[in-house]
C-alpha cells in the first residue's frame, strides 16, 4: 500500500537532493505569512472603521426622537445600521479565517488540503491565502 503510493509520486528533478522542493515550499509559506499579516491588518482596520460607523449611527439614533415610525431619518438610520452590521459580520468572518490560517502556519498544517492531505498548489494559496482545501475539495458555498 505505502509502496504503491510512493511509486505513483512524480519523481523529483534531483532525486539525490530533495531540499529544492522544501525550499520552494518554505518560500511559499513565507509569502503566505506576509500576505496574511497584511490582510489581517487591513481586516482589522476595516472592522475598526465600521465599528466607528456603527457607533455614530447608534449615537445618531439615540439622539433623535425615539418615534421611529414617524421619523423618516430614524428609519434610514435603522437601515444603515443593519447594512453596517451585515458588513461587519462579513469582516469578522474574514478576520477569523485569516487568523485561523495564521494559526495553521504556526502549527505547520498550513497549505495542506483538509480533505486529501495533499499540499495545496502555490498558485491557489497566492490567490486565496486562507484556503483550507485544494481546488477539488472546496466545500460548497454557503447560502
Residues lying near Zn ion in the complex (CB under 5 A) are found at 113, 115-116, 134, 137
Least distance from C-beta 113 to Zn ion, angstroms? 3
Least distance from C-beta 84 to Zn ion, angstroms? 37
Q: In whole angstroms, what is the distance from residue 135 CA to residue 76 CA?
A: 42
The residue written with cell numbers 451585515 in the block is 86
* Closest to Zn ion by CB, 98 or 113: 113
Which phi-psi region, left, alpha or beta, contains residue 71 (left: φ > 0; alpha: ψ -120 to 50)?
Answer: beta
Helical spans, DSSP H, in 1-143? 2-8, 19-63, 72-107, 122-127
Least distance from C-beta 82 to Zn ion, angstroms? 38
* Closest to Zn ion by CB, 77 or 104: 104
Least distance from C-beta 118 to Zn ion, angstroms? 6
* Closest to Zn ion by CB, 116 or 123: 116
Neighbours of 131 (CB within 10 A): 21
* Closest to Zn ion by CB, 14 or 137: 137
Amino acid at each position: 500500500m505505502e509502496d504503491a503510493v510512493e511509486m505513483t509520486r512524480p519523481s523529483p528533478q534531483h532525486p539525490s537532493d530533495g531540499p529544492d522542493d522544501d525550499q520552494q515550499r518554505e518560500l511559499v509559506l513565507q509569502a503566505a505569512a506576509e500576505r496574511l499579516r497584511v490582510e489581517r491588518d487591513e481586516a482589522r482596520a476595516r472592522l475598526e472603521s465600521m465599528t466607528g460607523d456603527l457607533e455614530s449611527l447608534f449615537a445618531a439614533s439615540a439622539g433623535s426622537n425615539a418615534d421611529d415610525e414617524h421619523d423618516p431619518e430614524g428609519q434610514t438610520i435603522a437601515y444603515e445600521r443593519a447594512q453596517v452590521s451585515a458588513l461587519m459580520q462579513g469582516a469578522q468572518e474574514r478576520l477569523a479565517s485569516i487568523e485561523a490560517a495564521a494559526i495553521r502556519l504556526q502549527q505547520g498544517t498550513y497549505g495542506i488540503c483538509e480533505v486529501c492531505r495533499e499540499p495545496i498548489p502555490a498558485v491557489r494559496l497566492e490567490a486565496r491565502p486562507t484556503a483550507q482545501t485544494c481546488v477539488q475539495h472546496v466545500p460548497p458555498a454557503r447560502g
